[in-house]
Structure 1
Amino acid sequence: MLETLRHIVQEVNAARGLEEALDIIVRRVQDAMQTQVCSVYLQDGNNDRLIFRATQGLNQALVDEASLPVGEGLVGLVAARGEPVNLEEAEKHPSFRFLPGIGEEQFHAFLGVPIIHQRGVVGVLVVQQAERRRFDESDEAFLVTLSAQLAGVIAHAQVTGVLESRVLTGAVPAKITGVPGAQGVAIGTAVVVSPGADLYAVPPREVKDRRKQVRAFREALEAVRKDIQVVADNLGAELSPEDHALFDVYLSILDDSTIGAEVVGLIKGGQWAQGALSQVMIEHIRHFERMEHSYLKERAVDVRDLGTRVLTYLQAANQEPRAYPDRAILVGEELTATSLGEIPREKLAGLISVSGSGNSHVAILARAMGVPTVMGAVDLPYARLQDRELIIDGYNGTVHLNPLPEIKQRFQEVLDQDAALSKDLESLRDQPCVTVDGHRMPLWVNTGLMADVTRSLEQGAEGVGLYRTEVPFLLRDRFPSEEEQRQIYREQLEAFAPKPVTMRTLDIGGDKSLPYFPIEEDNPFLGWRGIRVTLDHPEIFLAQVRAMLKANEGLWNLRIMLPMVSNTAEVDEALALIHRSHEELQQEGLTGRLPPVGVMIEVPAAVSQARLMARRVDFLSVGSNDLTQYLLAVDRNNPQVAGLYHSLHPAVIHALEFVSDASRAEGVPIGICGELAGDPGAAVLLLGMGYDVLSMNATSLPRVKNALRNVTVKEAERLLAEVKEMESAKHISGRLDRFLAEHGMEKFIHNPVA
């Protein structure tokens, strides 16, 4: 069973579209289960009907024609119940309904299982037999297992199939749902960001200079042939003649009379060389993957490798400075900090990432930059969106393709309202954040790029609560030297002086891996990251701390913060290294005292030991993004569970108050530098808990300042007491929205776009 399942799933995954995927399913299931009929019905969400979409054994002329309402007939019963129906004599069941012309009157045994994706029924998979018998448990288990494995593939193919046939080829509007990454609205032109040498990420593109493209392809082919010949010659003495013959096979695959001829044919038809190569190589890869013989199946790897090598040369030959349109919207499978750094900031209007969630690193950077972003748009056929007009709704996490004029007008109005609100809040820039009853709340910013500095100061930032030192590391192809780090840190400290700047020591691992220091783990967020990495590599930690201390000379506005701490031993070890660095630099002539050192509270273990941590350091700072992730056991980068990630979960609220109480008991200042601090409603709760400093992205600062200047500490404390009795994030979020509305701040309520 497992082997059969693997083969079917593999074939369906390799299908080029929904029709091919459904055809594979009905043929392979009929064959595997030795039944006379296998059919697939898919739900049409527009009219709540189940459409007869594919069959092996029934009347194929009625495919896409026959249908029945959900809840009607046996197929409708399966969909309505969301569970299997297994009958020996289907026609005797009270829900049985005869569909004229479909040809199922001779079949008595019936087994239907629901195809469920993200808790919703997207279709029904059915097998039927003329013999009156009940399908046994193994049959039912096989079909249920197959349905569960294919549900996501079918749902994705169904959406993208409609998009490609109706939306991308015409002017039919469509809305793709993802996850909110950074609030705001963007209307602009798509710029597809493709990862290097990925055959599956090459967008189709038509060209006029076909001869130039053919010439580029043949030059790339010749370069790969030479590479293979060099490798073959180098290994000639170490391989047997049989093994050495494999290189001849590689060279023959690239022959002009085989794959090469197919690619040239597509180029001459108007396709650019990279797209033609991608199309041909993927076709051959799928061909090999479908083969039964294991040796032949493994040749798919060789074909993929060859195609990737040729593509690498084609991309290198096509390296030209990219021209970005005004109001460019970057679209890609997985956007990175590097891709953000390649486009001029004045050209960037928005971001769409197929992978990731609203709390992945690139989304946090986008919020810091004030760039509307949608993450986890898994159904978006991103490779085909180049130069298309798109609308990003960063409030609700949706992308609009081919928007109708009235839709575009509505979003333009929201854009204008956002701009007007930002202008209204400009007057607060030089005003202190003081509550109605006179309580002072310093508002700091989270930074990582020099571009953040100007924006932060323009918004009235009073300091930096989190400088992400890993960002300069991420933007390089090697570890920056101590002197390079000193210069980078000095720029940050000078830009904000005399305001305090809190520099977090290197926090890599999890979703932030360095290309030159890869960390391969099955569960990276519970693995080697943050302080664990730098304590295991004290040479990295010492160089960074020395660079920070040198950069602080004469400015004296540095604060050092330790990430991902889970026990007091880590704090003690890190403090010993910091003191050692300081003493060594004093011997070299450094003046000044050791700057304040603090700990980030990001994991449940640190929450419970908050008082012990506070006794060792000068300040505590909660990282609410990771704390939420670890408390709720939700990977914040996984769009499949994004709906479970909520920083207003009651467990998070209680943990935040516990840490605040612990810090005050020890007389140590407490701040928070997670995204929660940038939410106006949540900021009122944090005020009520007694937090001393809120640090957020620069875009959120004016909104939070406005909110806190309209409340009293007593009101915040009463709101906190009320919220602590609530049982869900939904109720807490709703109460915060009502609180804002009661205080005349409806403009800060979530999701202004319906």
Structure 2
Amino acid sequence: MLGSLRSIVQEVNTARDLTTALGIIVRRVRDVMNTKVCSVYLRDKQTGNYVLMATEGLNQDAVGQVHLAPGEGLVGNVATREEPINLEHAEAHPAFQYFPATGEERFSAFLGTPIIHHRNVLGVLVVQQTERRRFDEGEEAFLVTLSAQLAGVIAHAEATGALANMGQQRNEAKFTGLAASPGVAIGRAHIVAPPANLATVPFACTMDVEGELNLFHQALAAARDEIRDVGERLKNDLNKEERALFDAYISMLDDNSIAVEVCERIRQQLTASRAWAEVMLEHVRRFEAMSDSYFRERAADVRDLGARVLMHLRQQEQSLREYPDNTILIGEELTASVLADVPREKLAGLVSIKGSANSHVSIIARAMGVPAVMGAQELPWEQVDGVDLVVDGYRGELHINPSVELKRRYDAIVEEERELARNLDHLAKLPCETADGHRIRLWVNTGLMADVVRSLERGAEGVGLYRTEVPFLLRDRFPSEEEQREIYREQLQAFAPRPVTMRTLDIGGDKALSYFPIEETNPFLGWRGIRVTLDHPEIFLAQVRAMMKASLGLDNLRIMLPMISGVGELEAARKLVDRAYCELVDEGYAIQRPPLGIMIEVPSAVYQARELAKRVDFMSVGSNDLTQYLLAVDRNNSRVAGIYHSFHPAVLQALLQVVTAGHETSTKVGICGELAGDPGGALLLVAMGYDVLSMNATNLLRVKAALREVNKSDLDRLLQQVLKMESPEQIEAKLYEYLQDLGIGGLVQPQQAEASSNI
């Protein structure tokens, strides 16, 4: 059964469309389980009914004709109960409903299992048998397992189907990912695919058939010449068998049957690269399915050859392609170099299938003010090249082929944002204080020089978090001490005399250096942050020395240690900082010892906050990581990101505990996570007593506007009410209501307002 399970899933995964996938499922399941009938019912998104979409054993004429409402018939009951129904005599069940069109009166035994994806019942998988018998436990377990495994495949196939035949019928479709950079982008998709990966070539059509045929033949000739040249250069270094491989490659490229297949698909208006990829992948699968091990191993050669020709095709295509206005880049994993290829005035938004809200590209997107969605795993991205698209960087949503009405709604959001920004500009030079005179310092989080101008324009009073890992991510090696000094000096000079808090190198987790790979089963609980740099004091010392040298004559540096989990790590790091300072003094640098602080971002630090506060000059809560560790939720995993909530009562209690412990030891406490940049969250943090709120420059004026409208005494009462609440949804709704009553509900970002209004 396990082998059959794998085989079915693999076969379904290779299906080109939903109809083919469903046909494979019903045929293979019927054969494997040796039943008379296997059928798949899928939920119609518009009506909510379950429709017979494929069958082996029932009348084919019934496909697409039989509809059951949730709770109607046995299939409808499987869907509403969200669990299997296993009956030896289906007709005797009170929910049984007979549909003459199916011809199912011959079958008594019934087993139906729900197909569930992300808590939504997509459909029902059914097997039936003539004789009266109950399907045994093994059969039921097999069908349940298969349904669970196929759920994602069917969801993807449905999505792909929704985008099929885009030239003739433009279906609107919605997908979700992780909100990585706020804002709304309305534009046209531009797919960025790895240049030599056959499996990621976008589905694309062409009207210029002759041009694509010429492109294909040129690429074929270029690959043939390249292989001949390489074989000729290496012929003296290769044995007979290895030389034969080059001859085999040339022979395959000369094989007219492959070229004919590709040209035929191009004449059907597929682009050359897509046609080549489809044909070569089919050949790869044929080789992989062969029983002879020698031929199975040749599949890798076919794949390699396909990649070589594809490389030439993509190079020629890229040289001919221009970026349109309002380009929205979409790729499996976008990189900084890809962003650099697009003129800034044409780049409207970013979408990455992989990646997280804290990935390198996300940080750059926020610095550039470009709306972005990461981790859009369900998006069939190969299918959307050139289509109209809306990127909602607030909610983490993507709308393919948006309707006129949807575009109108998003245009209104964009205009509201512009109007709000214009109305808030005058606040930049005003102090951040409540209506009754309580002063709060608003700082910014930075990582690139691009952040500096926007931060100062918006009245930032300092830097609460400078991500020093960004310069490391931009290189293919560790930057030298002098290179780091120059980078840090720019940042310190730009903000002087305002304080700049530089976090020591924070890599690991989802921030990996290509030249210093960290591969772990559970990276967020592994070797990251201070743990890496304490194990590599040479990296830590060079960085701290560079920071201190950069501060010479400015004296606005503050050093912050990430991921501290206990007193021992803090003491070890402090000794290294002291050592670097003493070395520089001995070398003749007239520098002041900078204040040393820590980030509170793991639960153990919350419970030791008092002991840690006694040993540092300041503390800053990293609320993003602290929230995910407290809730045991990887916020970069789209499957569970919905559980991540900064307003969770446990998170608020932890934040209150930290600031209380800090103030009891006369230690200043700040916060530099996303919660600080949320107007509602800022109200609670000020009520708790946080001294500094640090955020992205984009949110700075929103937060200042909210705080200038309230009284500190009123916030204290609001906090007491919130601390008695038991769910984050309640708390968020309360904050939105509070802001609405003050007449400043417009400061809340769109996705928060909508969520709160639905509670």
TM-score, normalising length: structure 1: 0.93
CA RMSD across the alignment:
2.6
Tell me the equivalent position of 1:87. Answer: 87
- Give, as a single letter, the amino acid of the residue that structure 1 aligns with 2:158: Q
Query: 1:121-136, aligned counterparts within 5 Å?
Result: 121-136=121-136
Quote the Cα distance in structure 1 between the aligned partners of 2:53 and 2:243.
49
Tell me the equivalent position of 1:37. Answer: 37
What SS does the corresponding residue of 1:211 show, helix, strand or coil? helix
Quote the Cα distance in structure 2 between the aligned partners of 1:482 and 1:263.
54
Are 1:747 and 2:750 matched, yes or no? Answer: no
- Give, as a single letter, the amino acid of the residue that structure 1 aligns with 2:334: L
1:258–1:700 Cα change, 3 Å: same
Quote the Cα distance in structure 2 between the aligned partners of 1:516 and 1:469.
16
Cα shift at 1:129: 1.1
Quote the Cα distance in structure 2 between the aligned partners of 1:689 and 1:386.
49
Q: Is the 8 A contact 1:678 1:701 kept in 2?
A: yes
Q: Is the 8 A contact 1:425 1:706 kept in 2?
A: yes
Are 1:28 and 2:28 matched, yes or no? Answer: yes
Q: Is the 8 A contact 2:162 2:173 kept in 1?
A: no
Tell me the equivalent position of 1:559. Answer: 558
Q: Is the 8 A contact 1:213 1:267 kept in 2?
A: no
Query: 1:63-212, aligned counterparts within 5 Å?
Result: 63-165=63-165, 167=166, 169-203=168-202, 204=204, 206=206, 209=211, 210-212=213-215
1:21–1:229 Cα change, 3 Å: farther
Deviations 1:540-590 (A, max 9, x none): 222222221221112111111111222222222222222222222222221
Cα shift at 1:626: 0.9
Gaps of 5+ in 2: 755-759
Quote the Cα distance in structure 2 between the aligned partners of 1:278 and 1:646.
42
Tell me the equivalent position of 1:3. Answer: 3
Tell me the equivalent position of 2:757. Answer: none
1:527–1:126 Cα change, 3 Å: same
Query: 1:440-451, aligned counterparts within 5 Å?
Result: 440-451=439-450
- Give, as a single letter, the amino acid of the residue that structure 1 aligns with 2:278: Q
Q: Is the 8 A contact 1:531 1:564 kept in 2?
A: yes
Are 1:643 and 2:646 matched, yes or no? Answer: no
Cα shift at 1:249: 5.6
Are 1:733 and 2:736 matched, yes or no? Answer: no
Quote the Cα distance in structure 2 between the aligned partners of 1:10 and 1:697.
44
Are 1:216 and 2:219 matched, yes or no? Answer: yes
What SS does the corresponding residue of 2:131 show, helix, strand or coil? coil
Tell me the equivalent position of 1:333. Answer: 332
1:85–1:533 Cα change, 3 Å: same
Query: 1:628-639, aligned counterparts within 5 Å?
Result: 628-639=627-638
Deviations 1:81-106 (A, max 9, x none): 11111111112222222211312221
Tell me the equivalent position of 1:387. Answer: 386
Query: 1:519-558, aligned counterparts within 5 Å?
Result: 519-558=518-557
Quote the Cα distance in structure 1 between the aligned partners of 2:55 and 2:637.
35
1:558–1:146 Cα change, 3 Å: same
Cα shift at 1:258: 5.0
Quote the Cα distance in structure 2 between the aligned partners of 1:249 and 1:368.
50
Quote the Cα distance in structure 2 between the aligned partners of 1:20 and 1:292.
25
Quote the Cα distance in structure 2 between the aligned partners of 1:37 and 1:736.
55
Tell me the equivalent position of 1:467. Answer: 466
What SS does the corresponding residue of 1:703 show, helix, strand or coil? helix
Quote the Cα distance in structure 1 between the aligned partners of 2:219 and 2:486.
43
- Give, as a single letter, the amino acid of the residue that structure 1 aligns with 2:706: A
Cα shift at 1:200: 2.3
Deviates more, 1:319-328 or 1:75-84: 319-328
Deviates more, 1:296-305 or 1:693-702: 296-305
Deviates more, 1:419-428 or 1:73-82: 73-82
Deviations 1:699-750 (A, max 9, x none): 0000000011111222222211111111111111111111111211110234
Cα shift at 1:365: 4.3
Cα shift at 1:313: 4.7
The alignment of Structure 1 onto Structure 2 pairs a total of residues equal to 749
Deviates more, 1:270-279 or 1:116-125: 270-279
Q: Is the 8 A contact 2:462 2:500 kept in 1?
A: yes
Quote the Cα distance in structure 2 between the aligned partners of 1:296 and 1:109.
44
Tell me the equivalent position of 1:694. Answer: 693
1:33–1:384 Cα change, 3 Å: closer
Tell me the equivalent position of 1:677. Answer: 676
1:294–1:437 Cα change, 3 Å: farther
Quote the Cα distance in structure 1 between the aligned partners of 2:32 and 2:436.
74
Cα shift at 1:136: 0.7
Cα shift at 1:490: 1.3
What SS does the corresponding residue of 1:440 show, helix, strand or coil? coil
- Give, as a single letter, the amino acid of the residue that structure 2 aligns with 1:216: A
What SS does the corresponding residue of 1:164 show, helix, strand or coil? coil
Quote the Cα distance in structure 2 between the aligned partners of 1:631 and 1:221.
57
Quote the Cα distance in structure 2 between the aligned partners of 1:690 and 1:561.
21
1:4–1:529 Cα change, 3 Å: same
1:270–1:115 Cα change, 3 Å: closer
Quote the Cα distance in structure 1 between the aligned partners of 2:311 and 2:615.
52
Deviations 1:510-537 (A, max 9, x none): 1111222222212111112111222222
Equivalent pairs: percent with the same residue?
59
Deviations 1:10-44 (A, max 9, x none): 11122222111111111111111111111111111
Q: Is the 8 A contact 1:214 1:264 kept in 2?
A: no
Q: Is the 8 A contact 1:185 1:415 kept in 2?
A: yes
Deviations 1:211-245 (A, max 9, x none): 24421232124424655787786463xxxx88987
- Give, as a single letter, the amino acid of the residue that structure 1 aligns with 2:223: A
Cα shift at 1:307: 2.6
Quote the Cα distance in structure 1 between the aligned partners of 2:226 and 2:381.
30
Tell me the equivalent position of 2:706. Answer: 707
Q: Is the 8 A contact 1:622 1:672 kept in 2?
A: yes
Q: Is the 8 A contact 1:357 1:639 kept in 2?
A: no
- Give, as a single letter, the amino acid of the residue that structure 2 aligns with 1:132: R
- Give, as a single letter, the amino acid of the residue that structure 1 aligns with 2:613: A
Cα shift at 1:679: 0.2
Tell me the equivalent position of 2:400. Answer: 401
1:391–1:538 Cα change, 3 Å: same
Q: Is the 8 A contact 2:367 2:450 kept in 1?
A: no
1:405–1:594 Cα change, 3 Å: same
Are 1:55 and 2:55 matched, yes or no? Answer: yes
What SS does the corresponding residue of 1:122 show, helix, strand or coil? strand
Deviates more, 1:456-465 or 1:185-194: 185-194
Cα shift at 1:321: 9.7
Quote the Cα distance in structure 2 between the aligned partners of 1:632 and 1:732.
17
Quote the Cα distance in structure 1 between the aligned partners of 2:287 and 2:604.
50
Gaps of 5+ in 1: none
Cα shift at 1:127: 0.9
- Give, as a single letter, the amino acid of the residue that structure 2 aligns with 1:413: A
- Give, as a single letter, the amino acid of the residue that structure 1 aligns with 2:164: E
1:120–1:175 Cα change, 3 Å: closer
Tell me the equivalent position of 1:585. Answer: 584
Quote the Cα distance in structure 2 between the aligned partners of 1:395 and 1:709.
24
Cα shift at 1:290: 5.1
What SS does the corresponding residue of 2:163 show, helix, strand or coil? helix
1:344–1:440 Cα change, 3 Å: farther
Deviations 1:156-183 (A, max 9, x none): 2112212224x56423333334443333
Query: 1:249-268, aligned counterparts within 5 Å?
Result: 252-257=251-256, 259=258, 262-263=261-262, 266=265
TM-score, normalising length: structure 2: 0.93
